Amino acid sequence: MLLEVENLHVFYGRIEAIKGISFTVDEGEIVTLIGANGAGKSTTLKTISGVRPVAQGRIIFEGKDITKMPAHKRTEIGISQAPEGRGIFPGMSVMENLEMGCYVRKDRKSNTRSADLARVFELFPRLAERKTQAGGSMSGGEQQMLAIGRALMARPRVLLLDEPSMGLAPMLIAQIFDIITEINQQGTTVLLVEQNATQALRRADRAYVLETGHVVKSAPADQLLNDPDVQAAYLGGH
Amino acid sequence: MTLSLGGFLTFAGFLSRFWPSTITGLVLGAVYALVALGYTLVYGVLRLINFANSEVFMLSAFGSFLTIEVLNIPQRLASGGDPIKTGWELVGVLALCLLVSVLIGGLSAVLVERIAYRPLRQRNAPRLVFLISAIGASFAISEAVGEWGPQRRKEYALTKFFKKEQLFKIFGADVYNSNVIVVVGAAIMALALVLFVSKSRVGRGIRAVAQDAETAKLMGVNVDRIILITFLVGGLMAGGAAFLYEIHTPFARYDVGFSIGVKAFTAAVLGGIGNVRGALLGGLLLGLIESWGSSLFGSDQNIGNVAAFVTLVLVLMVRPSGLLGESLGRSKA
Ligand SMILES: Nc1ncnc2c1ncn2[C@@H]1O[C@H](COP(=O)(O)OP(=O)(O)O)[C@@H](O)[C@H]1O
Ligand SMILES: [Mg+2]
């Protein structure tokens, strides 16, 4: 297993947002966490990235317990994230935002870095056209591309994506999901959080359904796509 | 009638003193600008006014004085020797004092961060507690120097350790070697800082933390380390400023940081707190307005202060977030 989350509990003050969830992500998979607003999806990703403290339970990455590892070290060992709301540094140019993606990489000055940059520009030609534009002045779709491209600059072993389709037009959503699939086919493991369950389930290998801090269902994605409960709750009932 | 005539005469006087007061204003402004950088940088990453920045300035001012004492220069002057005039000796003394001053500034700022702020951060303390800690650190340092410092609460004045010489004239105004050292020195330090923040990797890290600390963490930025570096850099600037100020006004006291600190903080707000370029612009403007103000309304320095603060209030009425507005976060540098 690449990533294992075991009986995870996370609190905001005295409120328990994650109430003992467990799931796994295997090398090469796209795994998706779906669930309504407030179910605890973002909290789960933030905790895996190390920016929320774990109250109880364990996070295992490549067989190593990283539950207490500081956030900046987790980027180094191969966990990177495109956060909810994209988290673009508004005053930085596209290039600078991408540079932030490989902030911790030891080989950030080498050819591998230029190769990664070339790969990002190939996936998102739009970014190549706008290298010097300020991140804050880009459209939502462009910012999402930048957020994913930036996360790729870390050469992640697992890429955490938090609602990449949020606020985008349907055309753009399809395009973003195509690119996520392509990134996965190039060999990057993806943990995808979505409210847009239809798209997420179509692209993912396996899925977990989160409700108020609990995993209420887990199954291969295509199976959940045809599950009547899931259809009623998350797929608009058809 | 007499009033308006008096006013007119003052104005004529102001015009005749315009260039000399401009030069004084630039010198003051250069010092304010450097100190303002410390306030603005720390505000950028922590949204905190580090009131102890002025005491970092004060400690550095004492540091450059003590260096001059250690070099035996006052004794030399007392026994009838010449002040250092020019040449390598002057360069050496200035460089050594600057180095000591800057190091003390950087070190004390880092200690302030470690002792007064980091423990609070680790406990997720509310914002108000940080503010109280900031004020406490400021008082503690200045009172400690007042109680146990080399001159206790008295003024630590130094006979001019090098001779001020007129170098050239601008529009009839004398320009002294001290003026040039202060303005050029400050310009070099400010330029180095702007380049560091806008071009270096760590500078990018500082901006990332200022713009979005949580996302910066996701990128692998060690936020605690960036905060420490930010204090260090702010302290280096305050240290450099203290040394330059001593060249202009060879005098230090346990509370010398207070008046400079208030001005520098005002300058940072005037330019737009959190904004590096704003701090530089605000510092220069404040120095000029203060100097022009005291030249226009009489030589009393307090009048200059009034002019400076009136300007601040007027600017904030029109632009509540300062001249260049945006924080370190939003702006490009
Ligand atoms: N910063 C926060 N402070 C307090 N409560 C929070 C915070 N962030 C999220 N929560 C709460 O935690 C729960 C899970 O939120 P979140 O992980 O953002 O859900 P999702 O991403 O699935 O919409 C919600 O009840 C939310 O209100
Ligand atoms: Mg969310």
Give the ipTM of the model, two decimals please.
Answer: 0.94
What is the SS3 string spanning chain B?
A: CHHHHHHHHHHHHHHHCHHHHHHHHHHHHHHHHHHHHHHHHHHHHHCCCCCCHHHHHHHHHHHHHHHHHHCCHHHHHHCCCCCECCHHHHHHHHHHHHHHHHHHHHHHHHHHHHHHHHHHHHCCCCHHHHHHHHHHHHHHHHHHHHHHCCCCCCCEECCCCECCCEEEEECCEEEEHHHHHHHHHHHHHHHHHHHHHHHCHHHHHHHHHHHCHHHHHHCCCCHHHHHHHHHHHHHHHHHHHHHHHHHHCCEECCCHHHHHHHHHHHHHHHHCCCCHHHHHHHHHHHHHHHHHHHHHCCCCHHHHHHHHHHHHHHHHHHCCCCCCCCCCCCCCC
**Ligand 1 center to A38 CA (angstroms):** 5
**Contact state of A75 with B332 under an 8 Å Cβ cutoff:** no
**Contact state of A136 with B215 under an 8 Å Cβ cutoff:** no
A176: DSSP letter: H
Domain ranges in chain B?
14-318
Sign of CA pseudo-dihedral B186, B188, B192, B198:
positive
**Ligand 1 center to A132 CA (angstroms):** 34
Determine the CATH number of domain B14-318: 1.10.3470
The burial of B299, by beta-carbon neighbours within 10 Å (0-12 exposed, 13-18 middle, 19 or more buried), is given as: exposed
Binding-site residues on chain B for chain A (CB distance < 8 A): 201, 204-205, 207-208, 211-212, 214-223, 326, 328-332
**What pLDDT does residue B333 have?**
40
**Contact state of B330 with A92 under an 8 Å Cβ cutoff:** no
**What pLDDT does residue B3 have?**
46
**Average pLDDT per 10 consecutive residues for chain B, totaling 333 residues:** 50 80 93 96 92 95 85 69 69 88 96 95 91 93 87 76 78 86 95 95 95 95 96 97 89 87 92 92 94 77 78 85 67 42
Main-chain dihedrals φ then ψ at residue A40, nearest 5 degrees: 115, 15
In the sheet that holds A189-194, the strands lie side by side as A79-82, A158-162, A189-194, A30-35, A206-211, A214-220
Q: What average pLDDT is seen over chain A?
A: 93
**What pLDDT does residue B332 have?**
41
The shortest C-alpha distance from A237 to chain B (Å) reads 36
Which of the residue ranges A154-158, A228-232, B3-7 would you say has the lowest mean pLDDT?
Answer: B3-7
**3-state secondary structure (DSSP) of residue A7:** strand
